[in-house]
């Protein structure tokens, strides 16, 4: 992209500046597991994630404005408004898993919020909770309590992002559950525009920013299979790989099975054939 300056890299996405006001966010086909990016790509994974994000941005505009300006023809690149990002990862958990489950086992709480006794791993919480974390450039984000979050963004902005985050989660989790997918938890990033308005940025309810579980297989008391990455994890576990870089190459059948799961998530949630998205990405916005 010679017309744009590279401004940032994530594990699987790249960010370019078109000018002072506009960015292009490109979702690659890279996949990470156990926090390691694998040498093998999953064809169309980036298109699935870009299309899903755009779908959710279009459907949550009445809750909060977002950074999406348009989708490019390639289906993997989105043009976005350039914002001042808040230094906070806004996590909402509807189920107790991952670092929330670890915190709960150690202390009965997560992010300083007490939880009922007797929860089992993967249990649904009585109500979704807002558990912010700090952005770590390298390695894991660190869970923080609401007092620490308030120091980072101020009391008013924190109240606003908590309310908006919970609203977004309730909407998407209900929507997804009706289509057979549990959104166990999710992570949002917000920015602020030139007028001081809160804007939903980055990605929206993708399998990379959220834990998607197949509702048909949900059974609390154990870890749940990942909707999208379970074949990859199972294959990696079968190798006895030590989960440090470099990760293993994936065989064709694992790649094909994983691609099919990403496409299935897209089609279940959007009710749009993935081929229709490839033919005209803006289908997800209508
Ligand atoms: C921004 N990040 C997070 C993509 C994700 N609209 C925006 N305006 C200004 N900055 C950002 C956005 C957005 N979205 C978001 N970094 C900058 C992480 N990146 C890392 C690279 O890949």
**What is the full per-residue pLDDT of the chain (286 aa) written as tens digits?**
777 899 999 999 999 999 999 999 999 999 999 999 999 999 999 999 999 999 999 999 999 999 999 999 999 999 999 999 999 999 999 999 999 999 999 999 999 999 999 999 999 999 999 999 998 766 678 999 999 999 999 999 999 999 999 999 999 999 999 999 999 999 999 999 999 999 999 999 999 999 999 999 999 999 999 999 999 999 999 999 999 999 999 999 999 999 999 999 999 999 999 999 999 999 999 9
**Cα(25)–Cα(77) distance, rounded to whole angstroms?**
6
76: CA distance to ligand 1 center in Å? 15
Residue 86 Cβ inside 6 Å of ligand 1? The answer reads no
Q: Are 31 and 42 in contact (CB under 8 A)?
A: yes
> Is-contact 155 186, C-beta < 8 A?
no
pTM: 0.97
Does an H or E element contain 7, and which?
strand 5-9
Best of 9, 20, 67, 85 to mutate for ligand 1, by most ligand atoms within 8 A of CB? 85
């Amino acid at each position: 992209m010679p017309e744009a300056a590279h401004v940032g890299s994530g594990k699987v996405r790249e960010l370019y500046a078109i000018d002072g006001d506009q960015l292009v966010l490109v979702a690659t086909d890279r996949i990470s597991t156990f926090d390691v990016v694998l040498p093998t790509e999953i064809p169309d994974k980036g298109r699935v994630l870009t299309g899903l994000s755009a779908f959710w941005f279009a459907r949550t505009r009445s809750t909060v404005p977002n950074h999406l300006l348009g989708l490019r023809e390639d289906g993997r690149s989105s043009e976005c408004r350039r914002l001042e990002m808040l230094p906070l990862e806004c996590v909402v958990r509807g189920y107790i898993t991952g670092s929330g489950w670890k915190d709960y086992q150690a202390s009965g709480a997560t992010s300083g919020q007490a939880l009922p006794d007797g929860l089992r791993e993967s249990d649904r919480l009585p109500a979704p909770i807002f558990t912010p974390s700090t952005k770590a450039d390298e390695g894991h984000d660190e869970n923080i309590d609401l007092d620490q979050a308030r120091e980072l963004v101020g009391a008013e902005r924190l109240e606003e992002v908590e309310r908006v985050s919970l609203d977004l989660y309730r909407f998407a989790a209900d929507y997804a559950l009706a289509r057979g997918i549990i959104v166990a938890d999710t992570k949002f990033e917000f920015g602020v525009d030139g007028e001081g308005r809160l804007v939903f940025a980055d990605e929206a309810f993708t399998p990379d920013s959220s834990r998607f579980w197949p509702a048909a297989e949900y059974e609390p008391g154990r870890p749940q299979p990942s909707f999208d990455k379970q074949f990859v994890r199972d294959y990696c576990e079968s190798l006895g790989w030590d989960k440090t870089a470099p990760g293993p190459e994936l065989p064709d059948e694992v790649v094909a099975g994983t691609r099919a799961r990403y496409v299935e998530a897209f089609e279940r949630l959007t009710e749009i054939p993935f081929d229709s998205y490839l033919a005209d990405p803006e289908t997800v916005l209508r």
